[in-house]
């Protein structure tokens, strides 16, 4: 189920809302030619043309050696082009009714220095995606927003990230989420659980061989959660676990990377697993694939591409024509870890109304398998991009296309 406000409210980014959306670069209005004053500068000859404005500084790539600091790093990092704050979770009512949720805030830089000094000048594009999966009702609800920062329409500080009235508040004891659209939404408190996990090495998560095709990437992998979820206008008190990701950089993907498959797993032995597989134009995994295993005590172990074995299984064909594997086999031999992932619902495809061409599958999944010979079960989220619409390297690569 897709729910959107009428066009021209939160989606009004380009003037009247009727202009093409493809070009996010800001161009100042073309000035009319100045009339000839008839004057000459001293010494004869025409007056010198005005000096050209200084060149905008380049976007800063993610480089090794970064040191994380909180609450500073909850805020936006405007010298980087791409940034997102990602919240997902699996929640239950006291009666056992299950819900999954996703709330994501995106910032994509358009220009490092707008040509016009105005609160309405377009420097960054701010997107937000909200989804709720109702397992019992066999329904998936989603909506999205698109804004420029404007005079407080969207943004991020150390205290919060927001897009209109959708927001996350960062507090000493955890985080608070609030978002609603039409007849569904959520209001949740996320308590501090395990300490943050920093993915990759030397402060970066490398996404390929090219220097700078990387991100600074941290997660809170086990956040005890309580609050309420609303579907079809009915409010449900819930509790469960959430996962938070925050990534920032200027180019996340090598040219030709069509998409990725990302997994988060919260297992019942107290451990967590994050894996991502980057796919090239031939559909196979690239050397940029990686992951992190988080032990019950909170210590983290980095995983490289050759540590992972990911095999797709059952496929669901979406109304948009994409073919998503909604079942997967995951193996990490060096950890003696084997998991089977199965979607709670097959129809968890997010088609963004505000940004045509940006479609992906993001949904709640169940895990079962073994670790070191012992049975484990768990829950988590699976994200699959690049199966429909434009290549992800056009959205999140560094070539500016």
Output 36 or 304, whichever has higher pLDDT: 304
Residue 192 contacts residue 173 (beta carbons within 8 Å): yes
Q: What angle do CA 303, 299, 334 make, to 5 degrees?
A: 35
Among the residue ranges 31-45, 105-119, 169-183, 339-353, the one predicted with the least confidence is 31-45
Share of the chain above pLDDT 70, in %: 83
Query: Which pTM value belongs to this model?
Result: 0.86
Among the residue ranges 252-256, 346-350, 384-388, the one predicted with the least confidence is 252-256
Across the range 288-305, mean pLDDT stands at 96
User: Phi and psi for 311 in degrees, rounded to 5?
Assistant: -125, 120
Q: How many residues does the chain have?
A: 401
Question: Across 29-43, 45-59, 265-279, which has the greatest mean pLDDT?
Answer: 265-279
**Locus of tokens 């701010």:** 126
Among the residue ranges 9-18, 127-136, 238-247, 265-274, the one predicted with the least confidence is 9-18
At residue 292, the pLDDT reads: 98
> Domains of the chain, with CATH numbers?
74-396 (2.40.370.10)
Give the Å distances, CA to CA, from 321 to 185, 315, 318, 387: 28, 12, 5, 9
Across the range 117-134, mean pLDDT stands at 96
Predicted confidence band of residue 316 (pLDDT cuts 50, 70, 90): very high
Instruction: Return the exposure string of 65-76: e unless at least 16 CB atoms fall within 10 Å of the residue's CB, then b.
Output: ebeeeeeebbbb
Determine how many CB atoms are found less than 10 A away from the CB of residue 90: 25
- pLDDT tens-place string over residues 334-344: 999 999 999 99
Residue 372 has pLDDT above 70, yes or no: yes
Tokens of 58: 């380049």
Predicted confidence band of residue 397 (pLDDT cuts 50, 70, 90): low
Residue 10 has pLDDT above 70, yes or no: no
At residue 393, the pLDDT reads: 54
At residue 46, the pLDDT reads: 56
Q: Which residues contact 19 (CB under 8 A, 6 or more apart)?
A: none
At residue 396, the pLDDT reads: 65
Cis peptide before 71 (omega within 30 of 0): yes
- pLDDT tens-place string over residues 40-95: 444 455 555 555 556 678 999 999 999 999 999 999 999 999 999 999 999 999 99
Q: What is the pLDDT of the chain when averaged over all its residues?
A: 87
Residue 25 has pLDDT above 80, yes or no: no
Residue 28 has pLDDT above 50, yes or no: no
| Strand 315-317 with 309-312, pairing | unpaired
Residue 400 has pLDDT above 60, yes or no: no
Q: Which residues contact 342 (CB under 8 A, 6 or more apart)?
A: 326, 327, 365, 366
3-state secondary structure the chain: CECCCCCCCCCCCCCCCCCCCCCCCCCCCCCCCCCCCCCCCCCCCCCCCCCCCCCCCCCCCCCCCCCCCCCHHHCCCCCCCEEEEEEEEEEECCCCCEEEEEEEEEEEECCCCCCCCCCCCCCEEEEEEEEEEECCCCEEEEEEEEEECCCCCEEECCCEEEECCEEEEEECCEEEEEEEECCEEEEEEEECCCCCEECCECCEEECCCCCCEEEEEEEEEEEEEEEEEEECCEEEEEEEEEEEEEEEEEECECCCCCEEEEEEEEECCCCEEEEEEEECCCCCECCCCEEEEECCCCCEEEECHHHCEEEECCEEECCCCCEEECEEEEEEHHHCEEEEEEECCCCCEEECCCCCCCEEEEEEEEEEEEECCEEEEEEEEEEEECCCCCCHHHHHECCCC
Among the residue ranges 253-257, 278-282, 370-374, the one predicted with the least confidence is 253-257
Among the residue ranges 108-122, 130-144, 160-174, the one predicted with the least confidence is 108-122
């Amino acid at each position: 189920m897709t729910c959107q406000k009428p066009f021209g409210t939160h989606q009004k980014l380009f003037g009247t809302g009727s202009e093409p959306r493809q070009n996010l670069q800001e161009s100042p209005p073309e000035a009319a030619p100045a009339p000839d004053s008839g004057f000459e500068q001293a010494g004869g000859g025409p007056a010198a043309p005005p000096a050209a404005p200084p060149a905008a500084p380049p976007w800063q790539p993610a480089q090794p050696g970064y040191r994380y600091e909180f609450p500073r790093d909850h805020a936006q990092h405007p010298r980087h082009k791409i940034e997102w704050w990602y919240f997902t979770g699996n929640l239950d009512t006291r009666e056992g009714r299950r819900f999954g949720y996703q709330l994501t805030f995106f910032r994509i830089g358009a220009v490092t220095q707008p040509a016009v000094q105005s609160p309405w000048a377009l420097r960054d594009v701010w997107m937000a995606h909200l989804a709720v999966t109702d397992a019992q009702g066999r329904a998936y609800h989603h909506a999205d927003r698109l804004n420029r920062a404007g005079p407080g329409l969207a943004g991020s500080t150390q205290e919060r990230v927001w897009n209109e009235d959708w927001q996350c508040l960062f507090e000493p004891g955890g985080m608070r989420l609030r978002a609603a659209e039409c007849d569904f939404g959520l209001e949740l408190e996320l308590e501090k659980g395990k300490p943050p996990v920093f993915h990759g090495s030397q402060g970066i998560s490398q996404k390929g061989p090219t220097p700078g095709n990387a991100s600074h990437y941290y997660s809170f992998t086990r956040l005890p959660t309580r609050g309420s979820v609303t579907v079809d206008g009915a409010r449900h008190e819930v509790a469960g676990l959430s996962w938070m990701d925050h990534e920032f950089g200027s180019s996340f993907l090598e040219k030709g990377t069509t998409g990725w498959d990302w997994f988060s797993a919260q297992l019942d032995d107290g451990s967590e697993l994050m894996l991502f597989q980057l796919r090239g134009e031939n559909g196979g995994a690239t050397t940029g694939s990686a992951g992190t295993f988080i032990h019950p005590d909170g210590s983290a172990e980095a995983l490289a591409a050759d540590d992972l074995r990911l095999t797709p299984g059952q496929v669901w064909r979406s109304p948009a024509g994409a073919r998503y594997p909604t079942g997967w086999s995951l193996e990490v031999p060096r950890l003696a870890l084997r998991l089977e992932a199965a979607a709670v619902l097959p129809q968890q495809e997010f088609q963004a109304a505000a940004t045509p061409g940006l479609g992906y599958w993001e949904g709640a999944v169940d895990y079962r398998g073994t670790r070191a010979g012992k049975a484990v079960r768990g829950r988590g989220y699976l994200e699959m991009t690049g199966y429909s619409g434009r290549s992800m390297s056009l959205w999140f690569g560094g070539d500016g296309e």
